[in-house]
């Protein structure tokens, strides 16, 4: 457990907006120096300015988390300019929709690159430093879609289940080595953020070959935007929950209690050998 956070260093990927920005602000309020990574330079610069108003050191590093060398460069910048690292939030994520057979290879490459490889690179690059100092905490952002499987979200569900599995395994790996480094997995439901518009950040090389969206795709995207915008918890609420979990050394960060019924139903379906129920109808 981290005894004190003031004066320590936090790193947040996807830190220029949404949940990442909220996490960064809560760490700054706690007196931590903060590095944020994102691919949107203008937003990075704006959030760095916000963070510095709390009297802490802040650093913004343009980073594509799907690329290992760029995450390695992020580590070097953080250690070189902020003097170390203690809390790492692998948070960057995107959310294209579609039935399991509809998504293109470019869709899969983009989704896996950001949502899964981004976490893999963060764990690979930062964990050895935390282990060497025998202090630190890693927070990986998954989703309730890492615990249940809503329809029309196959790619998203795959990546978020993988993040939950990877983080649980990381916890056991650290425990076997008797390390004082710990970790958490964040599994929120709908929160008003810009994730429904993540298409704005898709790399040109991974553009969807489809030139027009079907009426079904457009309807699904509209539903996602409505669900995200109507989320009852704000990004600030989630940022506060992450800070509290790091302080308390709590592994599962489940921010929306009402979703627990769907999680329980999935476990029951597995254990009872039943056909899986649609979690969106429970």
Active site residues: 156
Nearby residues of 64 by Cβ (< 8 Å), 6 or more positions away: 39, 70, 203
64 within 8 A of 89, measured Cβ to Cβ: no
Total Cβ atoms within 10 A of residue 218: 11
Nearby residues of 275 by Cβ (< 8 Å), 6 or more positions away: 269
Total Cβ atoms within 10 A of residue 77: 16
Question: Could you tell me the CA-to-CA distances from 216 to 97, 102, 152, 249, 264 in Å, in that order?
Answer: 11, 11, 10, 43, 30
Nearby residues of 149 by Cβ (< 8 Å), 6 or more positions away: 157, 161, 266, 276, 279
Residue-by-residue DSSP string for 17-62: SHHHHHHHHHHHHTT-EEEEEES-HHHHHHHHHHHHTTTS-EEEEE
Distance, in Å, from the CA atom of 277 to the CA atom of 114, rounded to the nearest integer, reads 29
Distance, in Å, from the CA atom of 130 to the CA atom of 132, rounded to the nearest integer, reads 5
Nearby residues of 145 by Cβ (< 8 Å), 6 or more positions away: 153, 156, 157, 160, 161
Distance, in Å, from the CA atom of 202 to the CA atom of 107, rounded to the nearest integer, reads 9
């Amino acid at each position: 457990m981290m005894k004190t956070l003031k004066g320590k260093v936090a790193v947040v990927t996807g830190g220029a907006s949404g949940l990442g920005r909220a996490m960064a602000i809560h760490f700054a309020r706690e007196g931590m120096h903060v590095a944020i990574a994102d691919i949107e330079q203008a937003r990075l610069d704006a959030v760095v300015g916000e963070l510095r108003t709390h009297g802490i050191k802040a650093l913004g590093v343009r980073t594509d988390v799907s690329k290992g060398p760029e995450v390695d460069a992020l580590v070097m910048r953080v250690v070189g300019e902020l003097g170390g690292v203690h809390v790492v939030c692998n948070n960057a994520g995107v959310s294209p929709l579609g039935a399991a057979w509809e998504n293109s290879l470019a869709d899969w490459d983009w989704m896996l690159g950001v949502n899964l490889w981004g976490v893999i690179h963060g764990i690979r690059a930062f964990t050895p430093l935390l282990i060497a100092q025998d202090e630190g905490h890693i927070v990986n952002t998954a989703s309730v879609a890492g615990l249940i499987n809503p329809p029309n979200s196959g790619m998203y569900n795959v990546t978020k289940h993988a993040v939950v599995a990877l983080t649980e395994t990381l916890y056991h790996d650290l425990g076997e080595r008797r390390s004082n480094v710990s970790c958490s997995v964040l599994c929120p439901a709908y929160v008003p953020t810009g994730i429904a518009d993540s298409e704005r950040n898709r790399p040109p090389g991974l553009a969807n070959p489809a030139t027009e969206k079907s009426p079904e795709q457009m309807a699904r995207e509209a539903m996602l935007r409505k669900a995200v915008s109507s989320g009852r918890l704000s990004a600030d609420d989630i940022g506060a929950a992450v800070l509290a979990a790091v302080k308390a050394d709590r592994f599962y960060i489940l921010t929306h209690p009402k979703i627990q019924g769907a999680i329980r139903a999935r476990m029951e379906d597995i254990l009872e050998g039943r056909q899986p129920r649609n979690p969106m109808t429970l």
